[in-house]
Structure 1
Amino acid sequence: MASGLYSQHVTTKTTLYLRTTIIILVLVTLAVCCLFPLFYMIVNSFGPAVEAASSNRSVFPTSWSLDSYKAFFSFSEYSVKWLANTFVVSACQVLGNVVFASLAGYAFAKLKFKGKNFLFNLILIGMMIPYQVTQVPLYILIVNRFHLSNSYAALVLPGLVTSYNIFLTKQFFSSIPTSLLESAKLDGCSQPKIFTHIVLPLSKTILAVLSINTFLSSWNNFFWPFLVTSKEAMYTIQVGLKQFKFANTTLFGPMMAGATISALPMFILFFCLQKYFLEGVTVGAVKG
């Protein structure tokens, strides 16, 4: 009987070991698949700054140097301005969403007014519409109607506040006890004071998550800036990188150098704010 229990214990231990090994192998494989494009981009950014057809590319460059970085900055007189444009647009959209999405979310969560449910349902419907569907009417409105092409207004306004961020803040503000706000009202606090002195200090996590997501989305956006800009001086970095691609060849090294430079703010932002990002993932998971 003891030998039977021992063999059963060994079998269970072996099965658990095999299961753990398989899970680790699957996770490592997925991690390699996810990280390989990033590794490929960084490694090839140190390659030679020469034209290369797709058939001539390899995982590792033939020689290592900083020539591709020099070529990126010397490719156009506006190379640095592309980065500056992207930062300005992303910062404005982050600020706009933090202000307007939080105000709208608070109104939908805690205030009573006519048509509140109807308006919120419209926002939910707006979330369901694919991004690409809205680009044609938005382009007609911004470019043909208001003549804002090649301007910061054209780049910033469409993303100044999004349906998703309004929904996100509304759901978070709904979890704040109404009794707390009612007590503040009885103490003579006006709605602006309640919002700025009570609600916002309790919402640092959700606003940090909102800021990170908005900045990432805006920084990596290519399609809309490509539609509304035709002058090099107004390109964002994502549109600017397209200039390294020609009909038959590509300045592959400088393109990878530019892509690496454009990815740096993402890494810095995430590692600086990962505490808030990870907390935001679990917002609402545990009710205290």
Structure 2
Amino acid sequence: MGLFNLHLGNRSLRYTRNTIIVILLLLFALATLFPIYFMIMSSFGDPVEAGAISYSILPTHFSFDSYKFFFDFSEYSYRWILNSLIVSTILMVSNVIFATVAGYAFSKIEFRGRNVLFAVLLAAMMIPYQVTQVPLYILIVNIFQVQNTYGALIMPTLVNVYNIFLAKQFMSTIPKEIIESAKVEGSSQFGIFVRLIMPLSKTVMAVMAILTFMESWNVFFWPFLVTNTMDMQTIQVGLKNFRFANTTYFAPMMAGATISALPMFILFFSLQRYFLEGVTVGAVKG
């Protein structure tokens, strides 16, 4: 009888603990999703009420006038979205290609100074982003002279050190015996990389694609720094045009923010399976 009561007590304790964990996770999820919910609900407000903010959780009325106002407000509204798509897509592709190649070189190819060079790259990750803005700006404006162009928006982040690190760590788990077998069969380094490494690395490539696109799409400061005309602004920079000295077109700004979030949602949910596999790779060793 005592063992039975002890068993029931343990079950009750586990049930209580699991219930508390579920409640905490639900609260965390609600806190994470609430800004997105508030952004979407606010985008259905009246665009004429400049500077007015409705703090009601449930919307009083639905109207798509703010979305129409967003596109009618400036002739460059469509151009802002197009610029962001061009820049983010190019950076996503370039980062996946270059980071995958670099990760393969650092993990599977023996060359002099490999460890030193990789250590330098890791050290570069520790430099705050803000510290590099002034040297990059001087390089883009005074040396390359490509200010207010797609080149200025793309060149500084053609490849991200973190993506190189991610690819290198992932490819280090690929057995060398597979590569040696391919070499015995006469495959070149390029053939091994294209036919063997890339198919095996599709998970980490999907993770790099999602993270790079999200980072490139959301960045504000660098596009704001190197663009000086509205036709070259990205969507994040373009949204600031809805704010003036004495008022803010809040609902149209939220409509633009909702539109700007759609590509990220589409990309994430389309590659969600690969992303979840990528972030958990290496957590369990077989």
Same fold, judged at TM 0.5 (above)? yes
Counterpart secondary structure, 1:261: helix
Which residue is 2:207 aligned to? 209
| 114, 123, 126: which one aligns with 1:125 | 123
Asked if the contact 1:51/1:250 (under 8 Å) is kept, the reply is no
Residue 55 of structure 2 is matched in structure 1 by: 58
Distance 1:118 1:87 in 2: 36
* Structure 1 residues 40-189: aligned runs within 5 Å: 40-53=38-51, 56-59=53-56, 60=58, 63-189=61-187
Distance 2:185 2:23 in 1: 60
Rounded to whole Å, the distance in 2 between the matches of 1:62 and 1:50 is 16
Equivalent in the alignment of 1:237:
235
TM-score (normalizing by structure 2):
0.94
Q: 1:190 to 1:14 in 2, by over 3 A?
A: closer
**Distance in 2 between residues matched to 1:94 and 1:73, nearest whole Å:** 27
Letter in 2 for 1:148: V
- Report the identity percentage: 60
Q: In the comparison of the two structures, how many residue pairs are matched?
A: 285
- 1:29 corresponds to which residue? 27
Quick one: which amino acid aligns to residue 195 of structure 1? F
Write the distance in 2 (CA, Å) between the matches of 1:284 and 1:10: 37
CA distance in structure 1 between the aligned counterparts of 2:131 and 2:103, rounded to whole angstroms: 25
CA positional deviation for 1:39: 0.5
- The AA in structure 2 aligned to 1:87 is L
Return closer, same or farther for 1:51/1:135 CA change in 2, 3 Å cut-off.
farther
Residue 266 (structure 1) aligns with: 264
Q: CA RMSD in A?
A: 1.6
Offset of 1:120 from its aligned partner?
A: 0.8
Where 2:141 maps in the other structure, the secondary structure is helix
Inter-partner Cα distance in structure 1 for 2:280 and 2:5:
42
SS in 1 for 2:89: helix
Give the Cα separation in 1 of the matches to 2:96 and 2:81: 22
Distance in 2 separating the partners of 1:120 and 1:239: 34
- The separation in 1 between residues aligned to 2:164 and 2:177, in whole angstroms, is 23
Higher alpha-carbon deviation: 69-78 or 5-14: 5-14
Q: Which stretches in structure 1 are left out of the alignment for 5+ residues? A: none
Alpha carbons of structure 1 residues 15 and 52: separation in structure 2 relative to 1, 3 Å: farther
Q: CA deviation at 1:26?
A: 1.5
8 Å CA contact retained: 1:48, 1:63: no
Q: Give the distance between the partners of 1:17 and 1:140, measured in 2 at CA.
A: 60
Which secondary structure state, in structure 2, belongs to the residue aligned with residue 250 of structure 1?
coil
Larger deviation, residues 277-286 vs 253-262 = 277-286
Conserved? CA contact 1:139–1:228, under 8 Å: yes
Give the Cα–Cα distance (whole angstroms) in 2 for the partners of residues 185 and 225 of structure 1. 45
Please tell me whether the aligned partners of residues 42 and 54 of structure 2 are also in contact (alpha carbons under 8 angstroms).
no
Shift of 1:9: 4.4
Q: Would you say the 8 A contact 1:50–1:252 is kept in 2?
A: no
More displaced 10-residue stretch of structure 1: 213-222 or 139-148: 139-148
Residues 228-256 of structure 1: per-residue CA shift (max 9 Å, x gap): 11110001000011111111211001000
Residues 7, 116 of structure 1: alpha-carbon distance in 2 compared, 3 angstrom cutoff:
closer
Provide structure 2 residue ranges, at least 5 long, that are not aligned to the other structure. none
Q: TM-score, normalised by structure 1?
A: 0.94
